[in-house]
Homo-oligomer: A and B are copies of this chain.
């Protein structure tokens, strides 16, 4: 088999390696859902493709036991009615093992070529994946397009770039000549081969199945591991489309499609625990709640476990030179996808004595009011609001939102919005609450969903002390701060360093604390309880393969 696909994609791969090294802006996948970029008719083709999946069994072409299961429900208010072919965990493992030998011997270049080809084909179908994402995660369409299309592909390609770089740094052979004084030198030929760890299990989440999943999936495949993908029962479709595409390209290249398998389960009868402790599973990637993430870390000791779990994200306001920009920026961060991002800030600390701004001093109450006001303005128009907020991904989040209004003084209540096209959509604006910094039991829990606290702190010092303690105990994926004083910013950076979290300073326009860009931002740090790994750095890749040496005399001694 030739490495044709590698040749086709080599320039993009090399460019991606440059990007992870200089971390400047770059992407081969446009984030703009425009037919000018994605081709005339792309919008309709994508929507029709999505609709063609509804209310029937998904044609996956994967071995199965004859049962078809599935109960995905769109947060926009309808059942997808798609069923998927169930396969028993034992069979999954056996098919994966059977595919493993050939995949391990497939050249690095061929593996990489296949993976980038898959990303390319998926990217061309970003409208289809946008709809698949929208109706499983509840993201507004534009966001779903990006998070299940180009931005997910960025994270996949980024993982491939790290993997290729890591493997490419191991020479395939060397000639080792050791001087032996007056005697002839010792001449040894050595040959080095990349060896996969085994089967990689990737456990998907409900909110970002593709964006959070592609890193582990493509890192595993690039480093010669076979993969079993176990999506969240409510967000299967985007990953089913991925796996079907992967299997198609593997087949076209004469390889065993079972190199990539997908496992299905239900909320009532989950199979992740059973799979995760199988001896054959040597790598596990997980995104989701801390409870199961911690369970995996402590129990799946036969595998290398990469987790992104949950934490509590904080913003500290000390002062600002752009008050309006600050309020708008925070309002958007709280609203985007109804606060259902692992990067959404929950706690906003404001000194009770108020802050200095470019438009004069503002009291604690005024800051709270103005952030509330900015949310109000942002979400004034129902159509815009629907697009920004998307739908609430599950009923648990709605229950939490409903009971949360008792947790503090309501600055702005949550409002229900009716969607123009989806009458049963679950769309709710953020609830903003005022609490005192002493109410730490309230705001130190992660309240996933559109719930924010404006926390009155004694002063910025107290804010920093509390945030550092929260980072150490609960962890966090993001941390933001506002100050017009460089000295205070330095102290914030110290909190970030000690707490092991990355910091966004004085974001007032265009960029939001929630956002993490492929090739440039390391997503999570792996340095606090919210995650033990980063998307994507060298450490995310290095543990996915070993190096086997063969050595012998270069010349017959």
- Compute how far the CA of A511 lies from the CA of B522 in the bound complex, rounded to whole angstroms: 44
Hey, which chain B residues are within 8 Å of A539, CB to CB?
A: 542-543, 546
- B-side contacts of A507, CB under 8 Å: 552-553
Residues from chain B with Cβ under 8 Å of A550 in the complex:
493, 496, 502-503, 505
A547 adjacent to chain B (CB < 8 Å): yes
Answer yes or no: A383 CB below 8 A from chain B CBs.
no
Docked pose: A139 CA to B93 CA in angstroms? 47
Does A517 touch B at the CB level, under 8 Å? yes
Chain B, residue nearest A520 (CB): B176
- Given A23-B174, A25-B177, residue A546 in contact with residue B520 (CB < 8 A): no
Contact residues of A between 142 and 173, Cβ < 8 Å to B: 166, 169-171
- The docked-state distance in angstroms from the alpha carbon of A542 to that of B219 is 15
Do B548 and A496 touch (CB < 8 A)?
A: yes
How far in angstroms is the closest Cβ of chain B from A283? Answer: 12
Take A190-B520, A197-B527, A520-B176 as given contacts and tell me if A548 and B511 are in contact as well, using a CB distance cutoff of 8 Å: no
Contacts of A521 in B (CB 8 A): 190, 549, 551
Q: Assign chain A's interface to a size class.
A: 35 or more
- B548 & A500 in contact (Cβ 8 Å cutoff): yes
Which residues of A26-52 are within 8 A (CB) of B? 32
Point out the residues of chain B lying under 8 angstroms from A32, CB to CB.
181
Partner of A180, one of B301, B510, B522: B510
> Cβ of A527: which chain B residues have Cβ within 8 Å of it?
195, 197, 546, 548
In-complex Cβ contact of A500 among B25, B169, B195 (8 A): B195
The reply to whether A534 and B546 form a contact with Cβ atoms under 8 Å apart is yes
CB pair A510–B548 under 8 Å, yes or no, is no
User: Please, which residues of chain B bring their CB within 8 A of the CB of A418?
Assistant: none
Closest B residue by C-beta to A531:
B546
Q: For the complex, what is the distance from the CA of A58 to the CA of B552, rounded to whole Å?
A: 45
Q: Is the CB of B500 within 8 A of A546?
A: yes
Q: How long is the Cα–Cα vector from A501 to B547 in the complex, in angstroms?
A: 9
A25-B176, A520-B190 known; A504-B301 Cβ under 8 A: no
Determine whether A421 belongs to the interface, using a CB cutoff of 8 Å to chain B. no
**Contacts of A175 on B, CB cut-off 8 Å?**
24
Q: Is the CB of B497 within 8 A of A193?
A: yes
A543 interface neighbour in B177, B493, B542, B552, Cβ under 8 Å: B542
Q: A176-B24, A188-B511, A527-B195 are in contact. Are A522 and B549 (CB under 8 A)?
A: yes
A100-138 residues with Cβ-Cβ distance < 8 A to B are 104
Contacts of A181 in B (CB 8 A): 32
A262 to B500, CA, bound (A): 27
* B171-A22 in contact (CB<8A): yes
Cα-based distance from A261 to B539 in the complex (angstroms): 27
Q: How far is the CA of A511 from the CA of B486 in the complex (A)?
A: 60
Shortest Cβ distance from residue A284 to the other chain B in the assembled complex, whole angstroms: 14
Residue in contact with A301 in the complex, picked from B104, B197, B297, CB distance below 8 Å: B297
User: Who on chain B is nearest to A513 by CB?
Assistant: B551
User: Chain B residues with Cβ under 8 A from A520's Cβ?
Assistant: 174, 176, 190
Give the complex CA separation of A509 and B186 in angstroms.
9
User: Which of A195, A297, A505, A506 has its CB near the most chain B CB atoms (within 10 A)?
Assistant: A195
Is B25 touching A551 in the complex (CB atoms < 8 A)?
no
Min Cβ gap A35→B in Å is: 15
Mask, A315-359, CB within 8 Å of B = 1, is: 000000110010000000000000000000000000000000000
Using Cβ atoms and an 8 Å threshold, which residues of chain B touch A534?
Answer: 546-547
Taking CB atoms, residues of chain B closer than 8 Å to A291 are none
Q: Does A3 contact B (CB under 8 A)?
A: no
Task: Verify A549–B502 contact, CB threshold 8 A.
Answer: yes
Least Cβ distance of A497 to chain B in Å? 5
Measured CA separation A148–B543 after assembly (Å): 29
Cβ of A497 and Cβ of B552 under 8 Å apart?
no
**Residue contact A538 to B546, C-beta cutoff 8 Å:** no
A182 sits at the interface (CB 8 A): no
Inter-subunit contact B502/A174 (CB<8 Å):
no
Question: Residue among A25, A325, A526 with the most chain B CB within 10 A?
Answer: A25
For the complex, give the distance between the alpha carbons of A502 and B186 in Å.
Answer: 19
Q: Contact between B497 and A195 (Cβ–Cβ < 8 Å)?
A: yes
Q: Which residues of B contact A169 (CB under 8 A)?
A: 21, 538
9 example contacts (A-B, Cβ-Cβ < 8 A) are as follows A22-B171, A22-B174, A23-B171, A186-B510, A502-B549, A502-B550, A507-B553, A525-B547, A539-B546
16 additional contacts, CB 8 Å, given A22-B171, A192-B522? A23-B190, A25-B178, A25-B179, A190-B521, A195-B525, A301-B301, A502-B549, A504-B552, A511-B551, A522-B549, A525-B546, A525-B547, A534-B546, A538-B542, A539-B546, A543-B543
Q: List the 6 closest A-B pairs by CB distance, nearest first.
A: A509-B557, A539-B542, A527-B546, A542-B542, A502-B549, A505-B552
